[in-house]
């Protein structure tokens, strides 16, 4: 039996990635697509368009929510009350407080829901987690995390996706959009303490921010974090330095460097937003969706929000 998916919100840069997964997975089918702005539904899936979110939810086995952030809580609650498992883009709400309330509301419904934090699915980060568990780096000394792309320079956030530059609709700007992924990825790695930020400097351009840098701690060592939409070339890089070796994840490649010889490299796929849907589908098939799946998104948003409030 196919898994029928409803797509709620089509004006998001990751929608093409998600549609690619729906097209490539033989047991996934797009049951319905909805957007508050009907013109935002891509012509390629126009035949699945419906006029009401409730109609889309009713036709599906599970729901993927990519709508603007200010619409996400209401859509999540409606899907949860209908008993449809949820994959929702991050941030899940405009504020950390609202996100926590939403997670509690969905928890009461006992409907599984997870955020689309797809860096968790990156194989190179899984390899890094194994390196850290084996203590191959020795005593940790510091970590830097960077994720940037030129989206704001290349016009990604114009037309239907312009809401992403409006803090009243998006909740975060260029820094928060990518920093949430980095904070979640760090929190998912084995460490004595989760990431914390103590100061943030934002690159503001009038309509919110397009990026920024932060300092803080992770696993008891200094953390430097950089994220944003206005840097070229784009790159993901996570560097963990230790007394015995340094591990670097650059896009999909993990490199271990030490004084013992040439660097060791493991090459894997780069970050792919579609992997969030692949992982969601795998959990649907195995019926192993977590009951508290939104908590990582809530925690990362709280860390980000507390630091930005100090700027």
Confidence band for 205, pLDDT divided at 50, 70 and 90? confident
Mode of pairing for the β-strands spanning 221-228 and 208-218: antiparallel
What's residue 289's pLDDT?
87
Mean pLDDT, to the nearest integer, of 4-10? Answer: 98
The share of the chain scoring above pLDDT 90, in percent, equals: 93
Mean pLDDT, to the nearest integer, of 222-226? Answer: 98
Residues whose CB is less than 8 angstroms from the CB of residue 19 and which lie 6 or more positions away in sequence, other chains included: 30, 42, 44, 45
Residue-wise pLDDT for 12-67, tens only, equals: 999 999 999 999 999 999 999 999 999 999 999 999 999 999 999 999 999 999 99
Instruction: Please determine, for residue 309, whether its predicted confidence score (pLDDT) is greater than 90.
Output: no
What's residue 292's pLDDT?
87
Q: Which two tokens stand for residue 236?
A: 């993901």
Query: Half-sphere exposure of 19 toward its Cβ, with a 13 Å CA cutoff?
Result: 20
Instruction: Please determine, for residue 311, whether its predicted confidence score (pLDDT) is greater than 80.
Output: no
Instruction: Please determine, for residue 206, whether its predicted confidence score (pLDDT) is greater than 80.
Output: no
Q: Give dist(CA 143, CA 247) in Å, integer.
A: 10
Residue 175: is the preceding peptide bond cis (ω within 30°)?
no
Instruction: Please determine, for residue 1, whether its predicted confidence score (pLDDT) is greater than 90.
Output: no
Instruction: Please determine, for residue 124, whether its predicted confidence score (pLDDT) is greater than 90.
Output: yes
Reduce the DSSP state of residue 42 to 3 states and report it. Answer: coil
Contact 29, 55 (CB under 8 A): no
b/e string for 112-140 if b means 16 or more Cβ within 10 A? bbbbbbbbbbbebbebbeebbeeeebeeb
Mean pLDDT, to the nearest integer, of 245-258? Answer: 97
Mean pLDDT, to the nearest integer, of 141-145? Answer: 97
The share of the chain scoring above pLDDT 70, in percent, equals: 100
Residue-wise pLDDT for 85-106, tens only, equals: 999 999 999 999 999 999 999 9
Q: Give dist(CA 119, CA 269) in Å, integer.
A: 11
Q: Which has the closest alpha carbon to 28: 36, 17, 16, 20?
A: 20
Torsion of CA 125, 126, 131, 134, to 10 degrees: 150
Instruction: Please determine, for residue 73, whether its predicted confidence score (pLDDT) is greater than 90.
Output: yes
Q: Give dist(CA 19, CA 119) in Å, integer.
A: 18
Confidence band for 180, pLDDT divided at 50, 70 and 90? very high
Q: What is the DSSP string of 201-228?
A: EEEEEESEEEEEEEEEEETTEEEEEEEE
Instruction: Please determine, for residue 300, whether its predicted confidence score (pLDDT) is greater than 80.
Output: yes
Q: Give dist(CA 144, CA 203) in Å, integer.
A: 19
Instruction: Please determine, for residue 281, whether its predicted confidence score (pLDDT) is greater than 80.
Output: yes
Q: Give dist(CA 141, CA 156) in Å, integer.
A: 37
| Averaged confidence pLDDT in the chain | 95
First vs last C-alpha separation in the chain: 52
Only one residue has tokens 């089918």, namely 29
């Amino acid at each position: 039996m196919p898994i029928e998916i409803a797509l709620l919100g089509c004006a998001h840069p990751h929608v093409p990635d998600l549609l690619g997964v729906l097209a490539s997975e033989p047991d996934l089918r797009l049951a319905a697509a909805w957007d508050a702005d009907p013109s935002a539904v891509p012509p390629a899936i126009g035949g699945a368009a419906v006029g009401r979110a409730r109609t889309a939810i009713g036709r599906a086995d599970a729901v993927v929510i990519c709508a603007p952030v200010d619409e996400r809580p209401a859509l999540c609650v409606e899907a949860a009350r209908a008993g449809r498992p949820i994959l929702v883009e991050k941030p899940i709400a405009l504020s950390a407080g609202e996100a926590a309330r939403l997670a509690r509301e969905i928890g009461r419904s006992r409907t599984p829901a997870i955020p689309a934090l797809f860096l968790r699915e990156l194989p190179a980060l899984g390899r890094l987690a194994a390196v850290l568990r084996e203590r191959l780096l020795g005593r940790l000394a510091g970590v830097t995390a960077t994720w940037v792309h030129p989206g704001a320079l290349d016009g990604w956030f114009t037309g239907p996706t312009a809401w992403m530059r409006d803090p009243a609709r998006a909740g975060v700007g260029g820094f928060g959009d990518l920093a949430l992924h980095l904070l979640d990825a760090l929190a998912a790695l084995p460490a004595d303490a989760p990431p914390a930020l103590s100061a943030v400097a934002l690159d503001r351009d009038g309509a919110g921010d397009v990026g920024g840098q932060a300092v803080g701690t992770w696993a008891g060592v200094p953390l430097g974090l950089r994220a944003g939409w206005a840097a070229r070339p784009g790159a993901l890089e996570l560097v963990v330095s230790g007394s015995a070796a340094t591990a670097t994840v650059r896009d999909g490649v993990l490199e271990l460097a030490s004084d013992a010889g040439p660097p060791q490299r493991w090459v894997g796929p780069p970050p792919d937003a579609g992997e969030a849907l692949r992982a969601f589908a795998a959990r649907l098939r195995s019926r192993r969706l977590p009951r508290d799946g939104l908590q990582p998104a809530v925690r990362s948003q709280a860390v980000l929000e507390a630091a930005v409030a100090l700027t």
